[in-house]
């Protein structure tokens, strides 16, 4: 499984999208229910990565089967879709079958940012075996958290998304949940601390930003840019 590296820095260079359409309460659907298709499978379950776990005589793993067809390099780069013109349907399919797919969740944030909020806004919940659910962006994170509530990376990715839509207090709450889960595992995550420092800067809490920047560097964060932001 590839290590997770999800940072805000590359996303902070463009204008924040309009978030008015995100306020409506919608039905995000049941992440445990995938009628007419495979899954749902967990991104962090070793069985999902085991060769031959997809069954049907296929030697590949469940994750590789889905990503090889739908979450291709062109989809990851948001250049074009694999089974459709745009990348969104393939990202949606990936997250229907693997609701906690870390890289697909990060792609949602990047796509929302790239399109300035014009995609992944209006809920379209009608779906068939051949048409994946295409929900507005927060739904994918809601589904992931319900599917994998003890996965700290899912909460961290939720925080990154909320930072991008300028909901900084909500972002901090998700980051804190991620931090608690990492602490339970006795793990430190430099990327989480880095992201928390940036969000605390947005909240004008310089002391908290400094503390988390120090934690990020103590945990091995390699780039010096954060030191300049906090005046260190």
116 or 199, higher pLDDT: 199
| Residue 58: both structure tokens together | 């296929």
> What is the per-residue pLDDT for 13?
40
Omega of the bond leading into 158 within 30 degrees of 0 (cis): no
What is the 3-state composition of the chain as percent helix, strand, coil, each rounded to the nearest 5? Answer: 50, 0, 50
Share of the chain above pLDDT 90, in %: 57
The pLDDT tens digits for 70-124 are: 999 999 999 988 888 888 889 989 999 999 999 999 999 999 888 877 665 444 5
Measured CA to CA, the distance from residue 34 to residue 141 in angstroms comes to 17
Provide the residue ranges of all domains of the chain, joining segments of one domain with +.
Answer: 30-140, 149-232
> What is the per-residue pLDDT for 67?
94
Measured CA to CA, the distance from residue 220 to residue 227 in angstroms comes to 13
11 or 60, higher pLDDT: 60
Angle at 34 between CA 30 and CA 39, to 5 degrees: 115
> What is the per-residue pLDDT for 228?
83
In 5-86, where does DSSP find H-type helix? 46-49, 62-69, 73-76
Note the pTM of the prediction, 2 decimals. Answer: 0.85
Find all residues with CB under 8 Å of 151, minimum gap 6, and list them. Answer: 44, 100, 144, 181
**Residue 33 CA: distances (Å) to CA of 73, 148, 187, 220:** 27, 14, 32, 39
Q: Is 34 helix (H, G, I), strand (E, B) or coil?
A: coil
Question: Is the domain covering 149-232 a CATH 3.40.50.620 domain?
Answer: no
β-partners of residue 124 are: 134
> What is the per-residue pLDDT for 191?
96
In the structure, what pLDDT confidence band is assigned to residue 21 with cuts at 50, 70 and 90? very low
Q: Is 124 helix (H, G, I), strand (E, B) or coil?
A: strand
In the structure, what pLDDT confidence band is assigned to residue 133 with cuts at 50, 70 and 90? low
Averaged confidence pLDDT in the chain: 84
Query: Mean pLDDT, to the nearest integer, of 141-159?
Result: 97
> What is the per-residue pLDDT for 131?
47
Cβ–Cβ under 8 Å, residues 91 and 141 = no
Q: How many CB atoms lie within 10 A of CB 29?
A: 19
């Amino acid at each position: 499984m590839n290590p997770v590296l999800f940072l805000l820095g590359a996303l902070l260079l463009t204008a924040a999208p309009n978030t008015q359409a995100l306020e409506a309460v919608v039905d995000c659907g049941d992440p445990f229910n995938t009628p007419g298709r495979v899954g749902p499978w967990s991104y962090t379950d070793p069985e999902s990565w085991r060769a031959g776990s997809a069954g049907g005589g296929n030697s590949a793993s469940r994750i590789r089967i889905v990503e090889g067809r739908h979450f291709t390099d062109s989809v990851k780069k948001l250049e074009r879709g694999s089974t459709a013109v745009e990348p969104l349907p393939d990202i949606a399919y990936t997250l229907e079958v693997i609701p906690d797919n870390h890289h697909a969740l990060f792609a949602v944030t990047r796509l929302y940012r790239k399109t300035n909020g014009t995609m992944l806004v209006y809920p379209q919940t009608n779906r068939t075996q051949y048409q994946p659910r295409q929900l507005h962006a927060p739904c994918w994170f809601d589904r992931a958290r319900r599917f994998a509530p003890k996965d700290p990376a899912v909460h961290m990715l939720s925080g990154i998304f909320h930072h991008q839509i300028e909901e900084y207090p909500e972002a901090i709450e998700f980051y804190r949940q991620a931090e608690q889960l990492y602490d339970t595992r006795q793990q430190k995550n430099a990327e989480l601390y880095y992201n928390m420092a940036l969000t605390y800067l947005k909240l004008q809490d310089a002391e908290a930003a400094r503390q988390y920047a120090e934690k990020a560097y103590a945990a091995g964060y390699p780039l010096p840019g954060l030191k300049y932001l906090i005046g260190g």
